[in-house]
Amino acid sequence: MFCQNCPRHCYTERKFCWAPDNIKIGLWQLFYGEEPSISGKNGSGAIFFSHCNLRCVFCQNYQISQLNQGKDITDKEFLEICYELKNQGANNINLISPTVYHRRLVKLLRKLKEEKFPLPIVWNSNAYELRENIKELRGLVDVYLPDFKYGVNELALKYSQAPNYFEIAQQAVLEMFLQKPRNKYEEGGIMKAGLIVRHLVLPSNIENSKIVLKWLRDNLGSEIQISLLSQYTPLYKASLFPEISRSLIQKEYDEVSQFALSLGFKNIYFQELSSVGREFIPEF
């Protein structure tokens, strides 16, 4: 038996991500560290899933993504958490790193739909996903928030053990764009539906960022909302790789920002280097 939740198609007895069959959550809370149209003033209703289909050496959530922390929960408890976050005033339900629970989440999102759950559902993923799985999310997910990490496959292999990342992420993001070609906002600027493509700028790897940005502009156009993340922090195993064992410097971030502007992108979230780092890294 093969797992169909992501492009790795593991034998179910030898899972790359070690995710259990039921859902496992590292943390759920109102969260203020996302883009302004996601967090807003009230906060995003963040559900941080345990386990991940990438093994990024610099993962800022490594305790839950790779070190097995978290709590198994039932489907009923998952639905209760969504309602609890709504009652706390969350702007949305922000499913963070949901891919390894794809099948189960499709079922649960259908249930929320049937119950006319009123908040937008945000699919906050690493883009290493099957296009046909993203197709299944049509009508269930309101906002796609993929982090398009790599345009250079050698880097994806080296830092995240992810073969063919670039081609796989392209297909996933194309499908997201097909479903959400235009962004819609509520009064107050919170996103109701749409797509924000993130990109985490890695130190010493500026060309990687440029390849991702160029592909996005050529294939999705310059009107899409992009978000250039400067928050890279050399956590977990990053110190084993000298070139990424430091934070990003302003010059690198500026070069990537200028390149995005030169490509004609009109909607860019920039991030202040001084305002990031560990501030928005949750305590697991």
Beta strands in the chain (DSSP E): 23-31, 44-49, 71-73, 93-96, 121-124, 143-144, 184-185, 191-200, 225-229, 267-269
Q: Which is nearer to ligand SF4, 53 or 225 (CB)?
A: 53
Residues in touch with ligand SF4 (CB under 6 A): 3, 5-6, 8-10, 15-17, 19, 53, 100
Q: Which is nearer to ligand SF4, 5 or 124 (CB)?
A: 5
d(CA 73, CA 23): 6
Q: Which residues contact 194 (CB under 8 A, 6 or more apart)?
A: 142, 143, 144, 180, 182, 183, 184, 225
Minimum distance from residue 103 beta carbon to ligand SF4 (Å): 9
Minimum distance from residue 101 beta carbon to ligand SF4 (Å): 8
DSSP calls for 143-178: EE--B---S-HHHHHHHH--TTHHHHHHHHHHHHHH
Minimum distance from residue 26 beta carbon to ligand SF4 (Å): 16
d(CA 183, CA 173): 15
Q: Which is nearer to ligand SF4, 149 or 217 (CB)?
A: 149
Minimum distance from residue 19 beta carbon to ligand SF4 (Å): 5
Contact at 8 Å (CB) between 149 and 169?
A: yes
Phi, psi dihedral angles at 226 (to 5 degrees)? -115, 160
Minimum distance from residue 7 beta carbon to ligand SF4 (Å): 7
Q: Which is nearer to ligand SF4, 119 or 162 (CB)?
A: 162
Q: Which is nearer to ligand SF4, 73 or 100 (CB)?
A: 100
